Structure 1
Amino acid sequence: MPIISIANSKGGAGKTTLCLVLAQAIADAGKRVLILDADPNRPIQTWASRLNDRGTSALSQLSVDGDVTESNIVDKIDAARETNDFVLIDLEGTASVAVSYAVGQSDFVLIPLQGSQLDADQAARVIGLIRQNAKAYRREIPFGVIFTRVNPAIKPRDLAHIEQALAENKIPVFETRLYERAAFRSIFQVGMTLQELTPAIVSRPEVAVENALAVAQELIDRLAGEIRDVA
C-alpha cells in the first residue's frame, strides 16, 4: 500500500494541513487511511483527540498514530503497510534521522511550498535529501512539489518566479494547489472533518472539500503513473 511522506524542513509551509485534508478526502472515498504523526508537536494527534471527544464516527476509515519516534518509525511503517490502503506521514519541520528514515521508506514524497523564496530554498533541501536516499536505497523515490496556502484571487510575482525556476530545473509540480481557506483552519479548532463543517461554522466549506478532493485525485493519479512506470 502506498506510503506517502509530507515533508518540508521549514515550519508554516502547510505540511500538517495538507496531510490531514488529504487523509480525510481519501478516507471519505472509502479507503482505509492511517496518519503517522511524526511531528513532535503532534498537531494531528491533538485534532484526533478533539474529534474522539465529540464521540463522532465521521471518519471510521481514518486513524491516527501519534506514538512515532526516530527509533520506531520504520517498524511503524512496515506494520501500517499490512492493514491500510494508504499511509500518510506528517514529518517534523526540520531535517532529522526520522525524516530520512521515512523518506527512504516512501512510495511518494509530497513537498508543500508557499510562494516565497525562503520556502523554495527549504524545499530544495528536501529534494536533495530525497535524491540522497534514492542513491542509498538504490531506487527511485518519486516526489512532487505542491503550492499551499495559495490566494485563490491573485497570483503574486514571487509565486510566478518560483514556478519558472521549478520548471527550468525540471522539478515535478502538482497542477492542483491547496488554497488558503478558512475551513482548513477550522477543522483543527473545532475538531471536525471537512465533511462535517457547515456554513454556520465557516464560510463555504464545500469549496474546501472540493479543493481537498482535487489534490487527493492528482496524488492518486501520480501514484498510479509511478506504479505503472516501475512495472
Structure 2
Amino acid sequence: MAVITFANTKGGAGKTTAALLLATELLHRNHRVCVLDADPQRWFSRWQEGAPLIPRLSVETYVSASTIQKIVHERRQEWDFVIIDLPGIQSPLLASAVGLSDHVIVPIQGSSMDAQGGAQVLDLLRYLDRKAGIRIPHSVVLSRVNPAITTRSMSAVKRLLAEQQINVLDTPISERAAYREMFDLNRPLRKLEGTATGSGEKAIRNAEAFASEILAMVAPGKTLDRSLMSRRNMACYETAA
C-alpha cells in the first residue's frame, strides 16, 4: 500500500487535477484507490458524486488533522493506493499528511505565486529533514503547462528548483481542455467523448506518462518500511505546522 499526498498551499495550482489524473490512471491499471478529499472546496468529492459508479474507488471527505492518521492507517490495509488531496491553504493538515506519506507531490505552475505556495511545502519537508532527521520522498510536477510554449516564468521556476536540487518529474501536466471537461462532465479522462483522437489522445498520453513516472517511484511494493514509518514522531509534525 502506498500513500501519495498532493500539496500546495496556494489554491489553483492544479493540485486536484493532478490527483484525479493519477487516481483514474491507477484505476485503469486495476489498482484499488482510496482518495482522502481534505480540501474544503470538495472538488474531488463533487466529481465522484456526479460520476457513474466506478469500481475500486472510494472517496472520503471532511478529513481533519485530528482524524487523518486514524483514517490512513485503517485504509492502508484495504487499498493499493491512498491519495490525499490537501487544502490549497496553510493548514495543520499539511504536516499531518506529509508525515503519513510515502511520497509528496507538489504541483507548481510557472508563476512566482505558485512557486511560493509550493515553497512552503518544500520548506516543511526540509525542516523535518534538518531538525528531526525525517526524510520524506517528494517531487515537484509542473502543472498547466502550455504544450507549445515555454514561458520565461516557467523557465525561471525550473531553474530555481534545479538550483535547490529538488526532484522535478520529467512529465509536466499539460494544459488540456480534456482535463477541464473531466470536472465539467464528471467523467474519467478515458470516458470523455473524443479522447480517442486528436487532443484527447494527447491528454491520455500525458496522463499515462505522469502516472507511470510516479509508479516507478511509489509502486505498492516500494513503499516505506513500516518500522521506519512507525518511528516518525507525530509531535514533530505538529510542531512544524
Tell me if both proteins adopt one fold, taking TM over 0.5 as the criterion. Answer: yes
User: Which letter maps to 1:222?
Assistant: M
Find the counterpart in structure 2 of residue 147 from structure 1.
142
Is 1:28 matched up with 2:28? yes
Q: Offset of 1:31 from its aligned partner?
A: 0.4
User: Which letter maps to 2:190?
Assistant: Q
Q: Offset of 1:115 from its aligned partner?
A: 0.4
For residues 85-143 of structure 1, what are the alpha-carbon distances to aligned partners after superposition, in whole Å with 9 as ceiling and x for unaligned?
Answer: 01110000112111110011101000000001121122111101123344576432000
Is 1:189 matched up with 2:149? no
Find the counterpart in structure 2 of residue 6 from structure 1.
6
Indicate how the Cα distance of structure 1 residues 203 and 38 shifts in structure 2: closer, same or farther if over 3 A, else same.
farther
Which of 57, 60, 71 pairs up with 2:55?
60
Q: Offset of 1:183 from its aligned partner?
A: 0.8
Q: Offset of 1:68 from its aligned partner?
A: 1.2
Q: Offset of 1:208 from its aligned partner?
A: 1.4
User: Which letter maps to 1:13?
Assistant: A
Unaligned runs of 5+ in 2: 229-241
Q: Percent identity?
A: 39
Tell me the secondary structure at the aligned position of residue 142 of structure 2.
strand
Per the normalisation by structure 1, the TM-score is 0.90
Indicate how the Cα distance of structure 1 residues 170 and 104 shifts in structure 2: closer, same or farther if over 3 A, else same.
same
**What is the correspondence of 1:88-167 to structure 2 with a 5 Å cutoff?**
88-134=83-129, 138-167=133-162
Q: In the aligned structure 2, how far is the partner of 1:80 from the partner of 1:137?
A: 27
Per the normalisation by structure 2, the TM-score is 0.87
Q: Offset of 1:8 from its aligned partner?
A: 0.2
Find the counterpart in structure 2 of residue 17 from structure 1.
17
Large movers: runs of 4+ above 6 Å: 228-231
Paired residues, number: 225
Q: In the aligned structure 2, how far is the partner of 1:98 from the partner of 1:118?
A: 21
User: Is the Cα contact below 8 Å between 2:2 and 2:223 reproduced in 1?
Assistant: no
Unaligned runs of 5+ in 1: none
What is the CA RMSD across the aligned residues, in angstroms? Answer: 2.3
User: Which letter maps to 1:154?
Assistant: I
